[in-house]
Structure 1
Amino acid sequence: MQVELLYHTPDPERAIATAARLCYAPVGAAELMETMPDERVESVLATIMGSGHHSTLEHASYTFAVDGVSRALTHQLVRHRIASFNQQSQRYVKFSDELPVVKPESVASDPQASALFDGAVAKAQEAYRALLDAGVPAEDARYLLPNAVESKIVITMNVRELLHFFELRCCNRAQWEIRDMAHRMLELALPTAPYLFMDAGAPCVHGTCPEGKMCCGNPYPRVTRG
């Protein structure tokens, strides 16, 4: 898996504080953006985060490029509706060589399970190629491809949705692959806006676990802050 931060709103903390402060300021946003002291920016952010008035967090966004993840992951990812996604198309991209796949560690660590997995992927690959050779369009041949096939995707989320995403997917109860991706995304986002992402992650980072009897019981593996 490769995760890269392609782009984010320049100075996201100041942009968000400016939007929030505008509601109560006699001057325009452009002037606020230029003149608000750093300590005032942090004070406004503290009020936003503490009061739960999170709509202003939507004024900053982050775009990530993710390669080498499975379709099983991306099927989960696109359930996050307040986001934008562009994914490598199996309709237009043909797999002419060996299928690139993601193999779970639970499978890879068991020789018998690993062999079974590899055999199933090889048969799917063989049938896929045979359909292409027979003139079946790639958009139809792809119906044979397993969830394990690697994909590439570009993800854009505003800060409000990104914090929600981290709450759900950094949790130890999240599926391992999307949890790994979420932690990598958080590691990239944190240095760009340390105050905004200071307590980002599973709910147990900043409160109590909502999972009840399903709670993992383990302390959250905190990302290094600063």
Structure 2
Amino acid sequence: MDVRLLSSTPDPERAVAVAARVCYAPVGAAELMDAMDDEAVRRVLRTIMTSGHFSALEHVSYTFAIDGVSRAMTHQLVRHRLASYNQQSQRYVSYAEEPCFIVPPDVADDPQALSVYEAACDAAFAAYRALVDAGVEAEDARYLLPNAMETKIVVTMNVRELLHFFELRCCKRAQWEIRELALAMLELAEPTAPYIFADAGASCRRGACREGKMTCGEPYERAPKRD
């Protein structure tokens, strides 16, 4: 898996603070952008993050390039609807050679399971190629391709949606591949807005687990309280 931060809103914490402050200020956002010092920005952010008034977070967005993941994982990812996606097309991308298949760790660690898994993937791709060679359009032949196929996707989320995504997908109960993705995205985003992302991640980082009876019983270390 390769995850890269392609772009993000410049000076994200200041942008959030200004967006929130403009609701109560007699001057415009451009003036506030210049007038607010770092301490003023921090005070506004503290109020936002502790009060739950998160609408101002929607003014900051992050765009990630994600390669080397499975279609099984991206089917989970695109369920997060408040985001924008562009994914490698199985209709227009020609698979002249056998593509990469993502292998789950539990399968990779079991030689017998791995043999069955690889044989199934190879057979599916061989059938796909046979249909294409027989003149079947790729958009129809692709129905044979497995969820294990490697794919590439670009995703853009605003900060509010990212925090929600991290809460659900950094959780230890999340499926392993999307959890790995969420942790990688958080690692890239956190340095750009350390105060906003200070306690981002699974709900147990901030308090009680929200999974109820489904809890894993192995919480992450609690994040320090914001100053």
TM tier, smaller: over 0.9
Q: Which moved more, 1:214-223 or 1:184-193?
A: 214-223
Q: CA deviation at 1:210?
A: 1.2
1:82 maps onto 2:82 in alignment: yes
Letter in 1 for 2:13: E
TM-score (norm 1): 0.97
Distance 2:122 2:164 in 1: 38
Farther-moved stretch of structure 1 (214-223 vs 193-202)? 214-223
Alignment partner, residue 110 of structure 1: 110
Corresponding residue for residue 41 of structure 1: 41
Give the aligned partner of residue 188 of structure 2: 188
Query: Which residue of the partner structure matches residue 126 of structure 2?
Result: 126
**Deviation at 1:94?**
1.8
SS of the residue corresponding to residue 142 of structure 1 reads helix
Aligned twin of 2:92: 92
Q: Give yes or no for contact 2:101–2:150 (8 Å, CA) kept in 1.
A: yes
- More deviation, 91-100/196-205: 91-100
Structure 1, unmatched stretches of 5+, are none
Q: Provide the secondary structure at the position in 1 that maps to 2:4.
A: strand
User: In structure 2, how many angstroms separate the alpha carbons of the residues matched to 1:12 and 1:108?
Assistant: 41
For residue 222 of structure 1, report the CA deviation from its aligned partner: 7.5
Which residue of structure 1 lines up, in the alignment, with residue 50 of structure 2? 50
Alignment-mate amino acid for residue 57 of structure 2 = L
Does the CA contact (< 8 Å) of 2:207 and 2:222 recur in 1? no
Distance in 2, matches of 1:74 and 1:15, equals 30
Task: List, as ranges, runs of 4+ consecutive aligned residues in structure 1 with deviation greater than 2 Å.
Answer: none
Which ranges in structure 2 are unaligned for 5 or more consecutive residues? none
Aligned residue identity for 1:131: L
Alpha carbons of 1:221 and 1:143: their partners in 2 closer, same or farther (altered >3 Å)?
A: farther
Counterpart residue identity of residue 169, structure 1: R
1:219 offset after TM fit, Å? 2.6
Tell whether 2:151 aligns with 1:151: yes
- Report the Cα distance in structure 2 between the residues aligned to 1:136 and 1:55, rounded to whole angstroms: 49
Q: Is the 8 A contact 2:17 2:44 kept in 1?
A: yes
Q: Per-residue deviation at 1:108?
A: 0.7
AA aligned to 2:112 is Q
Give the drift of 1:212.
1.6
Structure 1 residues 25-40: aligned runs within 5 Å: 25-40=25-40
Give the corresponding residue for 2:66.
66
Instruction: Give me the whole-angstrom Cα distance separating, in 1, the residues matched to 2:7 and 2:18.
Output: 20
Superposition CA RMSD, Å:
1.1
